[in-house]
Amino acid sequence: MVNKITVVGAGNVGATTAQRIAEKELARSVVMVDIADGIPQGKGLDQWESAPIELFDSRVTGSTGYETSAGSDVVVITAGIARKPGMSRDDLLNTNAGIVKSCAEQVKATSPNAIVIVVSNPLDVMCYVAKEVTGFPRERVIGMAGILDTARFRSFIAEKLDVSVRDIQAMVLGGHGDTMVPLISYTSISGIPITQFLTAEELAPLVDRARNGGAEIVKYLKTGSAYYAPSSGAVQIVEAIVNDQKRILPCSAWLEGEYGMKGLYLGVPCKLGRKGLEKVVEIDLSADEKAALAKSADAVREPMSVVKL
197 CB-side CA count, 13 A: 18
Among candidate residues 4, 154, 176, 211, the one labeled active-site is 176
Listed in sequence order, the residues at least 6 apart from 7 whose beta carbon sits closer than 8 Å to its beta carbon are: 14, 15, 17, 18, 21, 30, 31, 32, 33, 75, 76, 78
In the chain the first and final C-alpha atoms are separated, in Å, by: 34
Cα gap 16→285, rounded to integer Å: 35
Residue 176 among the catalytic residues? yes
CB 13 within 8 A of CB 227: yes
Cα gap 36→222, rounded to integer Å: 22
Q: What is the 3-state secondary structure (H, E, C) of 283-304?
A: CCCCHHHHHHHHHHHHHHHHHH
Cα gap 2→104, rounded to integer Å: 21
Q: Looking at the annotation, which residues are catalytic?
A: 176
